[in-house]
Amino acid sequence: MLVVGFPTGALQANCYLVAPGKGEACVIVDPGQDAEEAIAQAVLAHSSVRTAANVLARLNLAFADAVIAFYEAKYHYRIWRPISAIPNWNSLGTTPPDPSYPGAHSVISQAAATILRYLVGQRQVLTVTSEALPGTVRHFTTFQQAADEAGLSRIYGGVHTRIDHVAGQQLGLDVARLVLR
């Protein structure tokens, strides 16, 4: 199975070519998010391009629906971020200018973990590196572990509260369930 990532478009977003082998029929996937790990997992778990394309299509639909859902909720509830409420607070990273609730990383990560768990299986060993912290390598044995850490990292970074994370995970789960119907 061949998976090749390449930049495309004005924003140089990543697209992926998935094929059974070099010179064979392929599918081009534009995930809209950095989904290299998910693509690798889908390809490793499934031997056919058609099945891998199904996994990726559902994953990308979940990403798109999750973004629509969390922005709708953010601007409906308009909940402040910690930097707005705690005097002399500085987050560890840049605080996004949009409302805090629900946590976007929690929504997207939970939706992806649910889709992948359903279509690829519960037990998958993931090894993830960090562009922000070169040399840092994280290992997970389930998609859910990776999703939990992605959401919690935003609390540790000071840009979200626990309620943002919990609501984000629930919204991500709801979106994934709709996509999997």
Nearest to residue 41, comparing CAs of 108, 132, 145, 112? 112
Who wins on pLDDT, 6 or 73? 73
**Residues near 97 by beta carbon (within 8 Å), at least 6 away in sequence:** none
pLDDT digits (tens, 9 = 90+) for 151-173: 998 998 899 999 999 999 999 99
* Secondary structure (3-state) at 138: strand
Domains present along the chain, CATH in parentheses: 2-180 (1.10.606.20)
* Secondary structure (3-state) at 97: coil
**How much is the CA Rg of the chain, to the nearest whole Å?**
17
Give the model's confidence band at 73: pLDDT under 50 very low, under 70 low, under 90 confident, else very high. very high
Who wins on pLDDT, 18 or 50? 50
pLDDT of residue 25 exceeding 80, the answer is: no
**Mean pLDDT, residues 124-137 taken together:** 75
**Mean pLDDT, residues 61-83 taken together:** 94
Query: In this predicted structure, what is the pLDDT of residue 127?
Result: 75
pLDDT of residue 40 exceeding 70, the answer is: no
Who wins on pLDDT, 136 or 48? 136
Give the model's confidence band at 19: pLDDT under 50 very low, under 70 low, under 90 confident, else very high. low
Please, what's the b/e burial string for 44-74 (b: 16 or more CB within 10 A of its CB; e: otherwise)? eebeebeebbebbebbbbbbbbbbebbeebb
Contact between 103 and 164 under an 8 Å Cβ cutoff? The reply is yes
